[in-house]
Amino acid sequence: MNTLASALALFALGGVLALLTHRSKRWATRFGVGGAVLGSLLGLWLSLPAAINNGVDQLSIQWSLPYGSFSLALDALSAFFLLPIFLLSALGALYGVGYQEHSKRRLGVFWFFYNGLVLSMVLAVTASNAVLFLMAWETMALSSFFLLTFELGDKEDHPAVREAGIVYLIATQLGTACLLLLFLLLGHTSPSLDFDALTASGAAAPAGVLFLLALLGFGTKAGFVPLHVWLPEAHPVAPSHVSALMSGAMIKTGIYALLRIMGVLGQPSAWWGWTLLGIGLASALMGVVFALAQRDLKRLLAYSSVENIGIIGLGLGLGVLGQVHGIATLATLGYAGALLHVLNHSLFKGLLFLSAGAVKHATGSLHLDALGGLMRRMPLTGSLFLFGAVAISGLPPLNGFISEFLLMLAALDGSAADGALLHAIAAIVLAGLGLIGGLALAAFTKAFGIVFLGEARTPQAAQAKECHPLMLASIFTLAAACVGMALFSWALLPGLAPLLDGLTNTSSQEALGEAASSLRIIAGFGAALLLLVGLFALLRRRLLRDREERIVGTWGCGYLAPSARMQYRSSSYADPLTRLFTGLLRKQEHRPAPTGVVPEPQRYERHSSDPARSLIFAPLHRLLLGLAIWLRPFQSGRVQLYVLYIAMTLLALLAFAFWS
Amino acid sequence: MQALALVHLAVALLAAPLLLSVINKTKAFFGGRQGPPWLQPYRELTKLLHKGVARSRSTSWVFVAGPIVSVAATALALCLVPLGVVPALVAFPGDFVLLAYLLGLARFFTVSAALDTGSAFEGMGASREVQLSALAEPGLLLAFVVLAVATQALSLTGLFARLGTDGGPALVLVFVALLVIFLSENSRIPVDDPNTHLELTMIHEVMILDHSGPDLALIHYAAALKMWLLGTLLIGVPLSPWVSDGFASLLLGVLAMFALAVLVGVIESSTARLRLTRLPQWLLAAFVLTAVALFVVMG
């Protein structure tokens, strides 16, 4: 536990020193990055063994806050979620060195908030007291808010950054409001707000209500549909290593907290499982459809985070249903798939966001239709992005397939037990994941193909250069981790047994052993695939050794002067599929009819908008705004009035105390 | 039995291009022609393997990797399919998921290679390919779920070994759905026409316009393997309930594969292509059929 405390101290020290030295860019970066990297390495060294062990490591410090105690606990669940946090913090910090090399802003402030975000994420995941947890949770929200608006005022996207910041702040505060209510109800009769002391039976509301509150509050952070509105706004405007950290690690704290509270609430009901399964499927499907329709690379990645959070939610749903129906394999493999997907998603989404940042760094744009042909200009970034794209589409031989396979196996294993309900689960999960996988393939061949393949669509893209070696090194580490996870997941999976035992309250050894033997064969297939590809490549080279390899123009079916503008664009590529989801995407077309004998030049526009934002959040915001305007007379800004309010409150409280 | 699996793999690797001959001969018969010689696909493969390569200057290494990955993935997927009751070389719970996703990997690289040329035509083909495959995927996986529920087995080998004659109507539905998916995934009429000469209307063929020489040979070979692969899944449904002997299953299975090729030829000779905008409905029909089959199996 002292290791964790030292890691936390390193983050704090790094952040504060960076702030103090903000006049010198070099020193601020050194302190900020140094603190984040050293602290994370220390943390990884601590949390790797803790994630596969059974024990609970505790630390308590005297703290004089009512109901609060500064107590941290590190069990397998916390340690598991610490892994992506530490990994992405370290890599993001290293990446930042290259990414912000030429930034003219005060990097000391940036690194202060960066370290603050890491620190608060670690605290949120290890806190064992509700008050401490909420404070960490809010610090996390605020520091990430300052990070994502860090480039405010930069160039033309100023209004977009401001709006993204506000949307994020409002969404996250609404989530926290649910959490306050949750903990108030939960701690109603309990003497302290330590997680160990809280139980569902002592709460002032039925467990189902508490579950819904937790789902709303934590689901906002995680990005479940329809609470995901902030993700597609926030990720595109944030600096790329911040997007990677937020999407790879921060949204996972929502999943962590949901699991933690479900542990507090005790035995779940069947409808919790169905709710999670339904929300998971809806999030995954809607996320991937919207990802497919995007024209901005980081917006596409943000929607794909919604998709992957959905897949994780689906896994949690399977786990809960397995628990309720007493099917150990379904419960174990459902949770195991969800947890592995948490880790896998942080690896490949971190990779993709960091490479998207490299693209932005090199070309100044993330607009898909302004890019193209980058594979020949930036072969390393392009190849690494390809790894991420294959992994996130859930394709073998990479790690995305492993977790999706586990989820399908869970559903299939469940269906081996008799019961129409379980057959239905298997059908829903396999058909659903199949469709989602197919759409993800479409979305990521689009992202990869339009950005990196073909011909450059703008001069900027044609002049792109490979990025800073530290940026490449961070991206490469994540790609290597993706391959490693895929090839060695069979060895890692049984290590999750203590964690899963705690989640499911049954022995998970047997189910994990069976799944691991399947994963071992899959890893064998992965290795065989790599080998076979190498073999065919050699064979091809040998065949062509003495032959001519002519370099010609692309065959244009007889047309001799093709230009880069004639290539398929992002929206034309996605059109056959997005056309099928016109209703969901709320597509609007503006196509004025040509008039007159000689028509003027015409404009054609097409927009799609997120129904969660326009149908749910926009009316809610209007309602809140109306209330705020109504309350405004009370906020006059005069000190005398505020003193009066305080005095009146005191009087009222005294009267209340006197009467009762 | 494992020896039979190896024999099946060898037969598949060798005889897969012959399926195309059978289809072409059938179509020639309906057209009143003699058709190309039986060994024509092999001759074409050898011809291509002996040629040099012309490569677009727009392309990168992804263009070269496309055919290689797709043939490697398809060949590996072939190790996972049983032929009737002849077991697959490798079987484990959930292996059909790996099978479907290996085909997905092949598709990812084929599509990327097409986009790498920067050609509008190939972009169009790629875009249609990902649309159709995304819609075919749920039907394919659901068909496996139906068979898994019907037999209480979780690997393809176990699933086909336990398939009984009592499955009746559900199996018929699954067979029809798999046939629809088979035609779609192999780019045959009524989804795609391999003989068309109009780039605007092609799907699979248009994606490979720029490939030449050994690369093109690999693509054609991978396509033949894929047809064999999906064909075995299709004929396994009617074959395995009736034949319980491994050797007989191998023999009858190979015959059935060629019968399937004749069926494809008959379909191609007697039907027209569907309009592109109708294709999603066609694949949705396959999905609905499997869903109905699931209800039948669940009773």
A343 against A154, higher pLDDT: A343
Tens-digit pLDDT profile for residues A534-559: 999 999 999 999 888 899 888 887 77
Q: Are A78 and A58 in contact (CB under 8 A)?
A: no
Q: Are A491 and A65 in contact (CB under 8 A)?
A: no
CB–CB contact B127 A574 (8 Å): yes
Tens-digit pLDDT profile for residues A45-74: 988 888 888 778 888 887 777 777 888 999
Q: Considering only alpha carbons, which residue of chain B is nearest residue A556? A: B119
A153: confidence class by pLDDT, cuts 50, 70, 90: low
Mean pLDDT score of chain B, rounded to an integer? 92
A154: confidence class by pLDDT, cuts 50, 70, 90: low
Q: Shortest CA distance to A80 belongs to which of A493, A481, A483, A499?
A: A499
Q: Shortest CA distance to A111 belongs to which of A241, A250, A247?
A: A241
Tens-digit pLDDT profile for residues B70-84: 999 999 999 999 998
Contacts for B118 with CB less than 8 Å, ≥ 6 apart: A372, A373, A453, A454, A455, A554, A562, A564, A567, B56, B58
* Dist. CA A481–CA A474, nearest whole Å: 11
Tens-digit pLDDT profile for residues A597-636: 888 888 888 788 888 888 888 888 889 889 989 988 888 8
* Amino acid, res. A447: A
B277: confidence class by pLDDT, cuts 50, 70, 90: confident
B46 touching A (Cβ < 8 Å): no
Which residue is associated with the tokens 């494992």?
Answer: B2
| The pLDDT of residue A77 is above 90 | yes
Report the C-alpha dihedral over residues B138, B141, B142, B148, rounded to 10 degrees.
-170
Q: Please tell me the number of Cα atoms within 13 Å of B171 on its side-chain side.
A: 21
Interface of B with A in 25-44 (CB under 8 A): none
B90 touching A (Cβ < 8 Å): yes
Q: Are A277 and A317 in contact (CB under 8 A)?
A: yes
DSSP code at position B272: P
High-pLDDT (> 90) share of chain A, %: 65
CA–CA min distance B275, chain A (Å): 13
φ/ψ of A649, rounded to 5, equals -60, -45
| The pLDDT of residue B167 is above 80 | no
Q: How many CB atoms lie within 10 A of CB A369?
A: 18
Our CA angle for B212, B216, B220, nearest 5°, is: 155
* Burial A188-207, CB ≥16 within 10 A → b, else e: eeeebbbbeebebeebebeb
Contacts for B5 with CB less than 8 Å, ≥ 6 apart: B82, B86, B87, B88, B89
Q: How many CB atoms lie within 10 A of CB A123?
A: 21
| The pLDDT of residue B198 is above 80 | no
* Dist. CA A575–CA A67, nearest whole Å: 56
* Dist. CA B123–CA B109, nearest whole Å: 13
CB–CB contact B72 A577 (8 Å): no
Do you know the residue count of chain B?
299
Choose the closest CB to A435 out of B73, B101, B137: B137
B199 touching A (Cβ < 8 Å): yes
The two tokens of residue B275 are 């309009």
Measured between beta carbons, which residues in chain A are less than 8 angstroms from residue B54? 549-552
Measured between beta carbons, which residues in chain B are less than 8 angstroms from residue A396? 98, 101-102, 105
Strand partners, B54: A550
The two tokens of residue B227 are 């047809």
Q: Considering only alpha carbons, which residue of chain B is nearest residue A416? A: B152
* Dist. CA A636–CA A651, nearest whole Å: 22
* Dist. CA B195–CA B182, nearest whole Å: 18
The predicted structure's pLDDT at residue A628 = 87
The two tokens of residue A1 are 């536990």
A660: confidence class by pLDDT, cuts 50, 70, 90: confident
The predicted structure's pLDDT at residue A319 = 95
Contacts for A651 with CB less than 8 Å, ≥ 6 apart: none
Q: In A373-468, which residue ranges form alpha helices assigned H by DSSP? A: 374-377, 379-392, 399-416, 420-452, 459-462
Cα B194 from chain centre: 14
Tens-digit pLDDT profile for residues A262-279: 999 988 999 999 999 999
| The pLDDT of residue A11 is above 90 | yes
| The pLDDT of residue A156 is above 70 | no
Q: In chain B, which residue ranges form alpha helices assigned H by DSSP? A: 2-31, 40-49, 61-78, 95-116, 120-151, 156-161, 168-185, 204-207, 213-239, 246-270, 279-298
**Complete DSSP assignment for A60-91:** EE---STT--EEEEE-HHHHHHHHHHHHHHHH
A212 against B299, higher pLDDT: A212
φ/ψ of A344, rounded to 5, equals -60, -45
Q: Is the pTM higher than 0.80?
A: yes
The two tokens of residue B251 are 């023999």
The predicted structure's pLDDT at residue A335 = 96
Q: Are A216 and A227 in contact (CB under 8 A)?
A: yes
The sign of the dihedral angle between the CA atoms of A573, A577, A580, A585 is negative
The predicted structure's pLDDT at residue A324 = 92
The two tokens of residue A183 are 């903990």
Our CA angle for A489, A490, A494, nearest 5°, is: 105
A333: confidence class by pLDDT, cuts 50, 70, 90: very high
Q: Considering only alpha carbons, which residue of chain B is nearest residue A383? A: B62
B132 against A589, higher pLDDT: B132
| The pLDDT of residue B299 is above 80 | no
B58 touching A (Cβ < 8 Å): yes
Q: Shortest CA distance to A139 belongs to which of A114, A174, A162?
A: A114
E-strand ranges in A235-384 read: none
CA–CA min distance B292, chain A (Å): 12
Q: Shortest CA distance to A298 belongs to which of A230, A240, A361?
A: A240
Strand partners, A380: none
Interface of B with A in 114-133 (CB under 8 A): 115-121, 123-124, 126-128, 130-131, 133
Q: Are A349 and A408 in contact (CB under 8 A)?
A: no
Tens-digit pLDDT profile for residues A586-596: 877 788 888 88
Q: How many CB atoms lie within 10 A of CB A91?
A: 29
Contacts for A99 with CB less than 8 Å, ≥ 6 apart: A239, A240, A241, A357, A361, A468, A471
Q: Are A555 and B119 in contact (CB under 8 A)?
A: yes
ipTM comes to 0.96
φ/ψ of A592, rounded to 5, equals -65, 140
